[in-house]
Amino acid sequence: MQAEGLLLRVDERDRQRLDHYERAFSYKPREIGYSETGTAYLAYVSDRTPPTLTAKWSLANWTDRYAPLAISAAKEVMSYLGTPWAENLPRMRGMIEARAWSRHLARTRDLSTANPTREVQSEGHTRKHAGFFRFDEYRLRHGRFDGSMSGLLTREVFVGSDAALVLPYDPVRDEVVLIEQFRMGPFARSDPAPWVYEPIAGLVDPGEDPSETALREALEEAGLTIDRLEPIAATYASPGAATDFFHCYLGFCSLDTAESWLGGEKDEGEDIRSHRLSFADAIALVDTGRINVAPLAMMLHWLARNRERLRTA
């Protein structure tokens, strides 16, 4: 096997930085030869089975689509150099890349409907925890409504990533599909009923449009093929404490053969059951408090407001 590459001469400090970065991809240095002076040639290789390529890989195509994302993710990877979290990089890489993509989606949002912005002066931030999720402490000042600047504020934030949510709906049968699963939030709050109803949802993969995520997750979590998506809302889940951002859709589909479905990715610990309900039964679960997850309640209320239009379209 042959591969084109770039031969670099590095000192010990650079070698440590390269080892750290490649660790995120589960790559390790391996001696592949020696120069005439005895200098070792190293390559970074992985024991994992390489992905199957459907087309010839192109550096130019990769650069156009993924280079900005890779650079953004690399900054977070390198921020863990010399920290206790460095050894967890292979497990964290997926979320590091997802957070980089979330930052891109945030920066490229349409500001025509945004509230007027004011100055924010960052004094830096400190990482408190890094794993699947991240927890940071920020120090900043921001413009106040009276035109002055605030004093120095210290704020802690839970750093997640963007997610796509979809509520499957059959307008002919006037039925929806909800999923049910165990959730850590209610459990950690000491809720005696930590199994909750939710819309189908999944994290947006790097480079993926949220609508693509919604279609993929509907098939994975409930075995459903969505015919068409209609945007419901794009919202922060808890803006006072978290970066989580939800892209919410109604998914038009036929439920003539849909049954209760046990799904989810077992290697990710998911255990998901789907429920096919009439719209009337679903909205009744909101009214009684049986549905206590805000995104699902919001999406069902949106459907209630638009249902007649959608059924006659």
Residues forming the active site = 268
- Closest C-alpha among 39, 245, 239, 252 to residue 166: 252
Distance CA 30, CA 28 (A): 6
Rounded to 10 degrees, what is the CA torsion of 295, 297, 298, 304?
150
Q: Would you give the end-to-end CA distance of the chain in angstroms? A: 57
Structure tokens given for 191 = 């809720």
Report strand pairing: 262-263 vs 272-278: antiparallel
Task: Report the Cα 47 to chain-centroid distance in Å.
Answer: 27
